[in-house]
Amino acid sequence: MLRQVPNLLTLLRILLVPVVWKLLWDREYERAIVVGFVATITDALDGWLARKLKAESRFGAYMDPVADKLLLSGSYLIFGLDGVIPGWLMYAVLGRDILILVFALLARLFTNLRDFPPSALGKLSTFIQIITGLVILINASLGGDIYTHRLKQWSEWICLAVTAWSGLHYLYTGIGMW
């Protein structure tokens, strides 16, 4: 039973995704920070427990990145549609994720490739997107005060750079694997 805890945490994170989306859509940023923090903790905890308990599973290997993509991509989509972030950042984050998904689908359909581990740059991009999302939420919850607004702007540009770099890296790697 204990070996199923990492998968249950991943499932919990997936169940929290629509809750975060609803809170963001309703502009309940403080509550979104709390629920998003819980989701982030489950992300860190499920991987750590899976390694500690030697309970890595096929479900976890597939669903952990799916949960991350749902949470981040959906959040950036809502931020963009609501005008909380510039459209270019929304398109960069969504475009990178769509690129990765299309590559993975094509690889599964037309090659023998089945394992698509994230690169260090991909993990960095995800981390930067999480931090930027947190900065965006804090800025929005404080009404965009001058200090958090500047931090938000810098975070957005850093997020764009790392996301684009990661997307190009995945494109290059994908073409090389093909």
27 pLDDT higher than 80? yes
Q: What SS3 state is found at 54? A: coil
Percent of the chain with pLDDT over 70: 98
d(CA 81, CA 2): 41
Distances (CA, A) of 166 to 59, 100, 129, 155: 25, 10, 12, 16
Specify the pLDDT at position 114. 66
Report the pLDDT averaged over residues 30-50: 90
40 pLDDT higher than 70? yes
Helical axes 58-81 vs 87-110, angle rounded to 10°: 150
What is the token pair recorded at 130?
């999480």
Q: What SS3 state is found at 69? A: helix
144 pLDDT higher than 80? no
Report the pLDDT averaged over residues 132-160: 92
d(CA 95, CA 173): 16
What is the token pair recorded at 57?
């599973």
pLDDT tens-place string over residues 62-108: 888 889 889 999 999 999 999 999 999 999 999 999 988 888 888 77
